[in-house]
Structure formats: C-alpha cells, structure tokens
C-alpha cells in the first residue's frame, strides 16, 4: 500500500519496503489523502469551536490530544487504510494537514507524538481522565510498552478496575518495573499470554509497593532498589511468562529482596548514627 508523504514541489508517494507503485496504489493513496485532509479540517473546526485548540506547539490539553487520536483512528479504520504496519507513513501524511499547534516537539521515531495520540484515541474518555498527559507519556515511553499496542488492551482492563486514578508515585514505579522486565526483550516474540503475565507482575509489584509505602513510608524500599531486585531475579521471568510462577508470587520475591536490601541499609545508617553519638 502507498501513502502520499509530500505534495510540494510535486506529489511523492512511499511504500514500506520500497516496492514499485501501480496506478491502483496511487489512486488509493490519493483517496486516503483526501480523507485525511477532510478529517483534520473537521477536527480543527471542532477544537476551535470548543476552545480546545492550543495556542502553540506542545501546549495542548489531554482532551485535545485524545480528540486528535480519535480523528486519526477514524482514518485508519476506513477501508482506505488496511495495514496498521504502515502507520509511520500515515503520520507523514497527517502532518501535511495537522496545524503545528497540535503537534509536539520531535522526540525521535520511537516517541512519535501522533502515535501516542492515536493510542489515546482507543481509550474511552472516562479511562483517559484517570491519568494526566505527562503520565500517559511516561507510560508510553517505557520499553516493552512503547511500540506494543497489546499493552493498551490490557491497560484498559486494569484502569477500569481501579476505583480512582493512579497517583504520580504509582506511575513512577510501574513504568520502571516494566522497563526492567522487558527492556531487553523484543515483545513481538511474546505471545499475548506471556506479555500479559509480565504486565501483571509489574502491576502487582507496583500495587504492593505503593500500599507498603502508604502504610509506612520510611520502611519501603526505593525505586532503584526494586528495579535492582527485578534485575537480580530476571531468571524467574520465563516462569512468569509461561504461567509456572504467578505474577503476585514474583512480586513477593522481588519486594522481599528489595526490602531486605533497604533494611540492611537502614541498619547501617543507624549504626553510624549510634557511633557518632558516642564521640
């Protein structure tokens, strides 16, 4: 499938893999281009009417970016765009029409703003509002989540189960846990079940850690200690993926290890403090 990626000084089309263009490919690309142009024009009109149009790049609200994502999904869910693998090309087409104020600073090909907006467009508005824009970005930036659309299916279920929105502390723990577990794994090689088990383990570690920290902040291990504990027990991850070790049991092992490290560190500090008092 071809996508129109430039209109000046002349039309230019591109296909993933660099295959040749047929007349049918060009006709389909032009049809998709017209649909994109019309959908973005309609979006901008509505955002302007609702006073949601940002004044400048990077200043949009969460709801604004969600609406942009919904518009992009409208385009991809049409018969004109059958291959989601070609989304990176679609962003180039979309940027021919999206005003600069709706875009964001360039953060590299793996942190594409339109991809994040597109993903947000798959969430309902009530779920969307459970997190702030910056928190969504933190999650989507994470290795093991960044290019993995299956995460969104799982995450929608988890957000739906939460009685309230997760706080910033929760986000700042969950994302590093996923990074530590999946940062060096190509998630394309994992089955749906294997991937879900990893996410569940990170979720259980985060939930248990947050509960401990709320109960007794001084006794909870820090994020770095928890990440180190995950790293030290990556040998158990295959068992978690295969369902031989339950995610909550993996969480217990990790947090027991990190709590032990923190307890030793606390005792050393107490010991130094005691010696200082004898001088």
Residue 260 — pLDDT band, cuts 50, 70, 90? low
- What's the pLDDT tens digit per position in 134-143? 999 999 999 9
pLDDT at 269 over 50: no
Structure confidence at residue 30 (pLDDT) = 93
Residue 18 — pLDDT band, cuts 50, 70, 90? low
pLDDT at 16 over 80: no
pLDDT at 6 over 80: yes
The residues pairing with 4 across neighbouring beta strands, listed in sequence order, are 13
b (16+ CB within 10 A) / e for 186-224: ebeebeeebbbbbbbbbbbbbbbbbeebeeeeeebbebe
Return mean pLDDT, the chain: 89
**Domain map (residue ranges) of the chain:** 1-122, 148-279
pLDDT at 273 over 70: no
For residue 131, which of 104, 171, 178 has the smallest C-alpha distance? 171
Q: Is 154 helix (H, G, I), strand (E, B) or coil?
A: helix
- What's the pLDDT tens digit per position in 160-191? 998 888 888 899 999 999 999 999 999 999 99
Structure confidence at residue 276 (pLDDT) = 45
pTM, two decimal places? 0.88
CA 223 centroid distance within chain: 19
């Amino acid at each position: 499938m071809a996508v129109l990626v430039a209109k000046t000084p002349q039309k230019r089309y591109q296909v993933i893999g660099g295959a040749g263009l047929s007349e049918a490919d060009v006709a389909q690309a032009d049809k998709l281009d017209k649909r994109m142009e019309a959908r973005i024009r309609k979006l901008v009109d509505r955002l302007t009417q609702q006073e949601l149009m940002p004044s400048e790049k990077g200043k949009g609200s969460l709801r604004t970016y969600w609406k942009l994502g919904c518009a992009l999904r409208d385009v991809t869910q049409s018969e004109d765009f059958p291959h989601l693998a070609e989304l990176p090309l679609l962003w180039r087409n979309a940027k021919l029409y999206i005003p600069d104020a709706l875009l964001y600073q360039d953060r590299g090909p793996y942190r594409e703003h339109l991809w994040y907006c597109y993903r947000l467009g798959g969430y309902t508005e009530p779920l969307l509002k459970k997190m702030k824009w910056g928190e969504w970005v933190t999650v989507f930036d994470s290795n093991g989540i960044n290019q993995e659309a299956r995460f969104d299916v799982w995450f929608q279920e988890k957000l739906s189960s939460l009685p309230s929105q997760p706080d910033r502390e929760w986000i700042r723990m969950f994302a590093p846990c996923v990074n530590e577990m999946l940062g060096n794994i190509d998630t394309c090689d994992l089955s749906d079940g294997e991937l879900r088990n990893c996410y569940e383990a990170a979720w259980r570690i985060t939930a248990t850690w947050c509960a401990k920290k709320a109960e007794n902040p001084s006794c909870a291990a820090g994020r770095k200690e928890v990440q180190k504990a995950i790293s030290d027990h990556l040998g158990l991850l295959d068992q978690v993926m295969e369902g031989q070790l339950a995610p909550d049991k993996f969480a217990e092992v990790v947090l027991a290890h990190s709590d032990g490290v923190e307890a030793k560190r606390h005792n050393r500090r107490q010991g130094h403090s005691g010696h200082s008092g004898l001088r």
